[in-house]
Amino acid sequence: MVKTLFAEYLFVTGEIVLIIALIVFGLILKKLLRLLRKPSIFWIILLASSFFMLLAMVFHFISISETGSIEDPVDLMRNLGRIGILEGITLLVSAVFAVLAGGMYFRWSHR
């Protein structure tokens, strides 16, 4: 299983930029919700979204480090599959939280 180092650096850079964008979006949403006099709980959901994105990045690094440590190919594929499922679930939860917070702001601001 060959992984290029450039692709991994590009992936990490993209995830870090996305995490920073989610945090900034959460802080901006906090101020905008205060202006609309709405409960500002949804900025916390965006911070949770960035936390799950960070957790997905950790799972990705675990899967990269597992590649060379297991000699049996069947065990290697099982472990990569399990970690890949966890990474996918955390990315899905992160996306759902971000869409939920953005959608609620959109609904409240367009009334």
pLDDT, position 42: 77
Domain boundaries, the chain: 21-109
Residue-wise pLDDT tens digits, 12-22: 889 899 999 98
Helix 5-35 with 42-66: angle, nearest 10 deg: 170
Residue-wise pLDDT tens digits, 37-84: 877 777 888 889 999 999 998 888 877 776 655 666 666 666 677 788
pLDDT, position 53: 92
The whole-model pTM stands at 0.77
pLDDT, position 29: 84
pLDDT, position 72: 65
pLDDT, position 55: 93
